[in-house]
Amino acid sequence: MGRIVRAPGDFLAGVIFVAVGVAALVIGRGYRLGTLLSMGPGYFPRIIGILFTAFGLVVAIVALRVDGEKLEPWRVRPIVLITAAIVAFGFCLERYGLVVASMVLLVVACFADRGRKVLEAIGVAALLTLIAWVVFVKGLEMPLLVWPEFGGTG
């Protein structure tokens, strides 16, 4: 008798999509839906929740029928460093600006991969920070603090 789940990686991805979709539906259930022409605040979360749930179910069901890769063991280092990078970005953005927050996020995240060199991480972070500045500050004109503000107004 064969395995029940023939593609564990795909099955797990499907379950995660379903979980995110259901969470969006639950979180957005109290928001007004509106109409297609006059969308309310609950319209987008509901549509995304339905799409994620449907897509996740399809992926999970296919994973029961089609052979796929086995799951690799989880590694702690990338999980910890990526999580720390996101938390550091959230902490730094309003306090130190987009440039510092992005550099911290990207340099810390680069070291989730063991083979990364310091100068390579800084170079990648600098390039992606420049792209973030162009897109969000210049292109979308978002009112973000770009550099840390030193000194006070008193």
pLDDT in tens, 12-48: 999 999 999 999 999 988 888 888 788 888 888 899 9
Predicted TM-score (pTM) of this structure: 0.59
Q: Coil, helix or strand for 69? A: coil
Report the chain's mean pLDDT, rounded to a whole number.
Answer: 88
Instruction: Give bridge partners of residue 34 from the DSSP assignment.
Output: 39
* Rounded Cα distance, 154 and 147, in Å: 19
CA distance 96 to 102: 10
Cβ pair 64, 6 in contact under 8 A: yes
